[in-house]
């Protein structure tokens, strides 16, 4: 079975919670990247297209308007630092595209992780926190490392 992963705002480092150096896809995974900026013409993205061929898709778009993504078609939605989960339009789009049983991965600086959990629990009651799947990693930005947390919820 093919797993469809949608990443919102991948920028120049897609799926950086898995690998800092490359887009790391599992053998059964299709990846869709959506970014408001056209970031897809970089060496990293070119390597991803060459390595994964027809399993990597991307388009320039806004997280508030994911009309190119079918309802209930996404198994994993990844939004690391660009999620704006407090925005009702964003929540509605994320909820619309994620299938039942799908997981949403929200990244934030470690200090803000609890506030993201609070927003999810208050505004998306059909989601269950998956604490065993949460990870912490270091985000490399502008020559510094920043501790990041990825909180995970499953849509029921």
3-state secondary structure the chain: CCEEEEEECCCCCCCCCCCCCCCCCCCCEEEEEEECCCCCCCHHHHHHHHHHHHHEEEEECECCECCCCCCCCEEEEEEECCCCCCCHHHHHHHHHHEEEEEEEEEEEEHHHHHHHHHHHHHHCCCEEECHHHCEEEEEEECCEEEEEEEEEEEEC
| Protein fold of 3-155 | Rossmann fold (3.40.50)
Q: Is the whole model's pTM more than 0.95, yes or no?
A: no
Domain range list for the chain: 3-155
Report pLDDT for 83: 66
- Residue 111 binned pLDDT confidence (cut-offs 50, 70, 90): confident
Report pLDDT for 4: 97
């Amino acid at each position: 079975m093919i797993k469809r992963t949608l990443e919102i705002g991948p920028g120049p480092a897609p799926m950086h919670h898995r690998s800092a150096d490359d887009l790391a896809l599992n053998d059964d995974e299709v990846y869709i990247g959506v970014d408001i900026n056209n970031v897809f013409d970089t060496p990293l993205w070119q390597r991803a297209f060459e390595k994964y061929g027809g399993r990597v898709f991307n388009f320039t778009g806004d997280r508030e308007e994911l009309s190119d993504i079918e309802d209930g078609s996404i198994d994993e939605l990844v939004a690391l630092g660009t999620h704006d989960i407090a925005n009702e339009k964003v929540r509605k789009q994320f909820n619309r595209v994620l299938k039942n049983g799908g997981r949403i991965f929200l990244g934030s600086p470690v200090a803000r992780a609890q506030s993201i959990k609070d927003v999810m629990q208050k505004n998306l009651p059909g989601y269950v926190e998956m604490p065993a799947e949460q990870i912490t990693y270091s985000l490399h930005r502008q020559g510094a490392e920043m501790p990041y947390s990825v909180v995970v919820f499953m849509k029921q």
